[in-house]
Amino acid sequence: MSAVPFRKPAFADLKSWFPAFGITAVLWWLSGNKISLRENAMAAILLLLPWLAYHRWQRGGTTRIPLFALIAMAYWAAFAMPLFLASPAHDPQTGVPFDESIVFGVLAMTVLGVSALGLGMKTPLRLFRPSRLPDISGDTRAWRYLYCALALATLGSTRLDDAAEAAGSAGRQLVLTLCTVLPIAICAMLAIRRADGKATPSQRLALGIFVVVRIVVGIAGGWLGSVVGMGVILGLAYIYRYRKLPLRMIVIIVPVVLFLQTGKSAFRDAYWTGKQTGGVVDKAQFWLRASYNEWSGVFGGRRRVGGPGSDSTHALFSESIDRLALLPQGANVLARTPRDVPFQSGASYKFLAATLVPRVVWPDKPSVSDANQFYQVAYGLTDKDNLNSVSISVGCLIEAFMNFGWPGVALIMFFIGLIVGIFERTLLAADSGLLFCGLGLAMVSGLLAVESQAAQYLGGQLQQIALVFIVFLPVVRRRNSLQRPDAALAGTT
């Protein structure tokens, strides 16, 4: 009997720590902000967590996607990256920068929360065996059905606001899911087949058309998330197939997002507030021109950002990072709780239970935005009169502190990790099949949105999965009724 070779855990190899601390040191050197040594240490640990998780997954992960590494990286981007590249976190009411101890406290809280999330995800709970889940049949009729569903959902997304309004409050969420999550799930299945090299010409064509239309329509509607969303789905399909990060795709998408981010305000001022009208192409061109003018103004020395001495690309880059950062919001909450705002003792989580009930069944159920609105008013971000035009979310981690303090961060994030772990082991396992892997990839984008509070982060996931699965029912078959276990993956059209 041969001995099983000993494999040293990733965290025990000190060499694997160097990239995280090295990148942190480079960012510290490039930053113009005053950053303490212990703040740098917390930022490095926040980067080390996804780094080690990713390499551990590469060495023998049982799921097709390193979900914890991706979520932990999203927390690093929201809390640690702004420490170096954004303007210093300051009080939204006085404009005075927060004390170093407050910023350090937020970073330490994030390390605690992400670690608890990881422990929850590693807890071996499972509701279903992935190999026993049904899958789509791989015949021609099944894919024709999916093409039709994709086309109708994409057409609906071009008039999403009108369709949602016509559906009323009871059917709004139904329409939004059918026009957003459903096509993304089909796109994910097509992307998986494309990455596996098994896509037929019609599948490659359908995928290409959908990606282009989705990006153009999203930009024309003022939503930068369409670009990010397509990048995430295609990147996840690449990871699914090759078990490594799509570095070339990242190098392309990140600059594009930062470029477009600067023109978003001008676009929304013109087409949302100013009620300017135009076609899809006109709106997309307006956004591109607005972003170009912002960046060319900086490079040409014609634009001043943030006052004297700030005429630089770094200043405009900081503007983009500021819009994505949760560090300032976390500092604001930590500084005012419970000094000015008492702990909520679970009050914001009542909306989580309500989201499990479809609005069609409960038309007058509380809105998830109510939790956001309380946060905005209580912490001095928005006046009551402006709540209808501004929506700001603080994320699950800081929401946990708002409710129960430091113990709440550990307990709530551990519980969220349990739920996300079940999701990962069910939908993203190696034997989950094309249908549920497609659904899983479509849901990952929502799990990376760490700015969402718990009711939005978890509550809608189950409803969305159930609704999309119902739409797929005409082409769903039991796994043992297919010709072979991978029949859906090998089907042709």
Q: What are the DSSP calls for 331-368, one per residue?
A: HHHHHHTTTTS---TTGGGHHHHHHTS-TTT-TTPPPT
Count of CB atoms within 10 A of residue 124's CB? 7
Cα distance between residue 38 and residue 371, in whole Å: 33
Cα distance between residue 19 and residue 286, in whole Å: 40
Q: Each residue of 80-100: b (16+ CB within 10 Å) or e?
A: bbbbbbbbbbebeeeeebbee
Q: Which residue has 């935005």 as its token pair? A: 369
Question: Smallest Cα–Cα separation from 371: which of 349, 400, 338, 355?
Answer: 349
Grouping H, G, I as helix, E, B as strand and the rest as coil, residue 59 is coil
What six digits make up the tokens of 487?
A: 């029949």
* Crossing angle of the two packed helices 160-196 and 201-220, in degrees rounded to 10: 140
DSSP code, position 86 = S
| 493, 140 Cβ separation under 8 angstroms | yes
| 443, 461 Cβ separation under 8 angstroms | yes
Check residue 67 and give its pLDDT: 93
Question: Smallest Cα–Cα separation from 66: which of 487, 457, 461, 444?
Answer: 444
Instruction: End-to-end CA distance of the chain: give it in Å, rounded.
Output: 48
Cα distance between residue 303 and residue 311, in whole Å: 7
Question: Smallest Cα–Cα separation from 287: which of 211, 210, 226?
Answer: 226
Instruction: Measure the CA dihedral 373/374/380/381, to 10°.
Output: -20
Cα distance between residue 255 and residue 246, in whole Å: 15
Question: Taking the model in full, what pTM does it have?
Answer: 0.85
What radius of gyration, in Å, describes the C-alpha atoms of the chain?
23
Cα distance between residue 100 and residue 96, in whole Å: 12
pLDDT in tens, the chain (493 residues): 444 444 555 554 556 678 888 999 999 998 888 999 999 999 999 999 999 999 889 887 778 889 999 999 999 999 999 999 888 888 887 888 889 999 999 999 999 999 999 999 999 887 778 778 888 877 888 899 999 999 988 887 777 666 656 656 656 677 777 888 899 999 999 999 998 888 889 999 999 999 988 888 877 777 777 777 888 888 888 888 888 888 887 777 777 777 777 777 777 777 777 777 777 777 778 888 888 777 776 655 544 433 333 445 556 566 667 767 889 999 999 999 888 889 988 888 877 776 666 666 666 666 666 666 777 777 777 766 666 666 677 889 999 999 999 999 999 999 999 999 999 998 888 888 888 899 999 888 888 888 888 877 887 677 788 888 889 999 888 776 554 434 444 444 4
Q: 127 vs 71, 198, 417, 480, CA distance in Å?
A: 22, 30, 15, 20
